[in-house]
Structure 1
Amino acid sequence: MDNRAMSTAPVDILHADDSLILCNKPAGMLAVPGRGPTKQDCLISRVQWLHADALIVHRLDMATSGLLLLALGAEMQRRLSRAFAERRVQKRYVAVVHGLLAEPGSDWAHIDLPVGADWPNRPRQQVCHVNGKPSQTRYRCLAQDRLGQTSRVELEPVTGRTHQLRVHLQALGHPIVGDALYADRQDLAPRLYLHATELALHHPVTGAALQFSSAAPF
């Protein structure tokens, strides 16, 4: 298929104003271009056909779906990137994990394990107490499927390391269903069951409180 034709395909835009755009990224789509001509179709290139000055602020893994924030122009990108760096943007995710993680309705629990690159097995990351960067995730169980031996979990990343949620859940012994990198090779789920469901921040210009949500499609 022609890359140009692919890049003009529709994008699910949930909100747009003069400063930012909020998209709902599907699973299987790159947030930014990858290496090689077959990996140029991505969310940012599709949005730029409609908004030429759209710029990436943060990323979601290709296999992860859900809310992705874009800036309009370099100044808005700087402001929004600063908000992420200073942890003034709240993000929440929903995942389905293998095993019965905790009793539904339990209080938020905390994972504090450093995450770093697993260099011989890139792009995998790993818990590494020598070279890993400090990484924290809050989580709580929403529901259990005792027959299927899975749990539905809400996640709140405090830090934003590469594959952090996936690595932290694997470290607990409860990898995300459908995770081709961190789950058992016998996992035949059609996708990674991880979705960015909530994003809250203050508008970079007006200061107004913004809160967005997207229901998990699984």
Structure 2
Amino acid sequence: MKFDILFEDGEALVIDKPAGLPLDRPRAGGPALEDYLEQLTLGFQRLPQPVHRLDRDTSGCLLLARNPKALKRFSAAFEERQVEKRYLGIVDGVPEEEEGTIALSLSKVSTEKDGWRMILARKGKPAITHWRRLASRNGVSLIEFRPETGRTHQIRVHAASGLGMPLLGDPVYGSKKGAPRTLLHAAGLTIARGEKPPIVAVSPLPADFLALGFSED
């Protein structure tokens, strides 16, 4: 597997993660990002390490740190909300409003029947997502999501329960219809680094988004 490199310097690497590639080894086996870390050293001795999480189905910008000091600093930036993240998703429906903010706290639950998932919970962890409708075609919409917090499955739950329109293909918070994968794409990532130039990465719209009639514009 070859990866498009969206940003690279001595302490950071941003790759365009393909949909379908998990970061961790699945219980059932199969390929994972760890299989390709040596390939991604790109001349450096240490294996790069992912700083944040992207779901298996989610494509786009994934930041890797090239040394332990950078990993610690970048991880702190995510925890302190100093990272600008931009996602694109296709939802099943057309929101009446053009933009808005969803503030719904989330909590993790697990059952033997359905496994684990995130649910809305007043006493859960605060989660805030800003959204904007970019385009609509044939009853589905391209939405820009800018999460202020970084909770697990935040955008997926906020789309389904906040907008009332799940992401196409979402098997957990939607009906899995409309696409063979959850249509969520990490389109942009910006991290300030003090006196150093910021990390700025942009991932182009993937083929399955384009196939539904949406474009970069």
Report the TM-score range of the alignment, normalised by the length of the smaller protein. Answer: 0.7 to 0.9
Q: Please report how far the alpha carbon of residue 53 of structure 1 lies from its aligned counterpart in structure 2 after TM superposition.
A: 2.6
**Alignment check: 8 A CA contact 1:11 1:43 kept:** no
Q: Which residue of 2 aligns with 1:4?
A: none
Q: Report SS of the residue matched to 1:167.
A: helix
Q: Structure 2: where are the runs of 5+ without partners?
A: 210-217
Q: Does 1:183 align with 2:177?
A: no
**Alignment check: 8 A CA contact 1:11 1:47 kept:** no
Q: Does 1:88 align with 2:82?
A: yes
Aligned-partner residue type, residue 118 of structure 2: Q
Q: Which residue of 2 aligns with 1:212?
A: 201
Aligned-partner residue type, residue 33 of structure 2: L
Offset from partner CA, 1:111-130 (integer Å, 9 cap, x none) = 00011113123332111123
Choose the corresponding residue for 1:197, options 177, 180, 187. 187
Choose the corresponding residue for 1:150, options 121, 132, 140. 140
Q: Does 1:10 align with 2:10?
A: no
Q: Report SS of the residue matched to 1:124.
A: strand
Q: Report SS of the residue matched to 1:59.
A: coil
Aligned-partner residue type, residue 200 of structure 1: T
Give aligned-pair identity as a percent: 37
**Alignment check: 8 A CA contact 2:88 2:144 kept:** yes
Q: Please report how far the alpha carbon of residue 159 of structure 1 lies from its aligned counterpart in structure 2 after TM superposition.
A: 0.6
Q: Please report how far the alpha carbon of residue 140 of structure 1 lies from its aligned counterpart in structure 2 after TM superposition.
A: 0.7
Q: Please report how far the alpha carbon of residue 190 of structure 1 lies from its aligned counterpart in structure 2 after TM superposition.
A: 2.1
- For residues 13-162 of structure 1, the aligned pairs below 5 Å read 13-35=5-27, 38-39=29-30, 41-51=31-41, 52-103=46-97, 106=98, 108-120=99-111, 121-130=114-123, 132-145=124-137, 148-162=138-152
TM-score by length of structure 1 reads 0.85
- What RMSD, in angstroms, separates the aligned Cα atoms of the two structures? 1.7
Aligned-partner residue type, residue 214 of structure 1: S
- The count of residues paired between Structure 1 and Structure 2 equals 200
The ranges of structure 1 where at least 4 consecutive aligned residues each deviate by more than 6 angstroms after the TM superposition are none
Q: Please report how far the alpha carbon of residue 188 of structure 1 lies from its aligned counterpart in structure 2 after TM superposition.
A: 4.2
Write the distance in 1 (CA, Å) between the matches of 2:73 and 2:40.
22
Write the distance in 2 (CA, Å) between the matches of 1:20 and 1:102.
40
TM-score by length of structure 2 reads 0.85
Q: Please report how far the alpha carbon of residue 84 of structure 1 lies from its aligned counterpart in structure 2 after TM superposition.
A: 0.8
Aligned-partner residue type, residue 129 of structure 2: T
Offset from partner CA, 1:95-137 (integer Å, 9 cap, x none) = 110111135xx3x41100011113123332111123x211110
Choose the corresponding residue for 2:165, options 159, 174, 188. 174
**Alignment check: 8 A CA contact 2:6 2:202 kept:** no
Q: Please report how far the alpha carbon of residue 210 of structure 1 lies from its aligned counterpart in structure 2 after TM superposition.
A: 2.9
Q: Please report how far the alpha carbon of residue 13 of structure 1 lies from its aligned counterpart in structure 2 after TM superposition.
A: 2.0
